Amino acid sequence: MTASDINGDPIEAGTVVRYINTGTVGRVVDIRSDEEGIWAFLDSTQLYYKVETLVITDESELKEKTETTRTAAEAEEYMREYGVGPESVDIGQFTGGG
């Protein structure tokens, strides 16, 4: 099985690609085929895409996932500092249906 992007360039596990419909970028983890065609699994979305909807792109387009761990006290301090919380919401502007 030979997987190729929209330009006919070969795709294999480890290739960085962009989904042309949404601009989603990810690294190919797996390639499979079925009766509908050849599919590439992207690490960024955990979804399969038909290879003819992908284009090989530069690795610099990958975005680093950043996860921040905060304590409850840090989260409360953030909410106080930036005015985020139940007291900062004016529910008088909301109307119900019915």
| Residue-wise pLDDT tens digits, 53-82 | 999 999 988 876 555 677 888 877 877 777
Neighbours of 93 (CB within 10 A): 6
Nearest to 54 by CA among 45, 72, 44, 42: 42
Beta-carbon contacts of residue 30 (< 8 Å; ≥ 6 apart): 13, 40, 41
Beta-carbon contacts of residue 42 (< 8 Å; ≥ 6 apart): 17, 19, 24, 26, 27, 28, 29, 48, 49
User: Is residue 2's pLDDT more than 70?
Assistant: yes
| Residue-wise pLDDT tens digits, 8-63 | 999 999 999 999 999 999 999 999 999 999 999 999 999 999 999 999 999 988 87
Provide the pLDDT confidence category of residue 93 given band limits of 50, 70 and 90. Answer: low
